Amino acid sequence: MSLVINAMIGFANASTIALSGFMKVPQVYSLLKSRSPSGVSLQGLLLEFSGYCIMMSYNFYSNYPLASYFEYPLLVVQDLVMILVMMKLLNLYSSSLILHSVIFLSIMTSIGWGIMPTAFIALLVICMYSTRLFTIYVESYDVALLLNFFVSLVLNLAIIGAALKFRPTKKEHSKKTD
């Protein structure tokens, strides 16, 4: 790659990471100051958190350079802080919460370590984008956001299609291992 392209990539990565590093701080501050969760949807926050975790795990699993996805770990930490603050304000700590958290962390870990099949990961991403399409359509009808998530959904459908089409058959797999 040329020096210009490398510089552009470096600037794009650095600016995205820098902006993502404090994106949720005003919301966390507002929650702490008001001591009220009004105006923030816990379900929406959990959906966003799940999406960030899936994307972070997928990038980690794919061995992409950390600079190309480091905003996701930063956003995950900030969302986690917001979730904990929200749960404290709503008095929602329970044993079932711990169980669900362990299940969620197990799924994210299995994605990151490559235990989870690629097609399943793509299916999770498709579900995330589909739900985001629905919520954006219903809540704001922002055409730019709708187009962004729609294109992402179509591309992930193409990945699943390719994974299913080109996966090795049992005969091909046994020939490779012999």
Count of other CB atoms within 10 angstroms of residue 124 = 21
Check: CB of residue 21 under 8 Å from CB of residue 58.
Answer: no
C-alpha torsion angle, residues 106, 79, 20, 127 (rounded to 10): 60
Q: How far is C-alpha 121 from the geometric centre of its chain's CA atoms?
A: 11
What does the pLDDT look like over 126-160, one tens digit per residue? 777 777 778 777 778 778 777 877 777 777 677 76
124 confidence band (pLDDT: 50, 70, 90): confident
Mean pLDDT, rounded, of the chain: 78
Check: CB of residue 176 under 8 Å from CB of residue 168.
Answer: yes
**0.75 exceeded by pTM:** no
106 confidence band (pLDDT: 50, 70, 90): confident
Place of tokens 């958190």: 49
Q: How far is C-alpha 173 from the geometric centre of its chain's CA atoms?
A: 32
In the numeric block, which tokens belong to residue 39?
Answer: 């105006």
Q: pLDDT at position 83, please?
A: 87
175 confidence band (pLDDT: 50, 70, 90): low
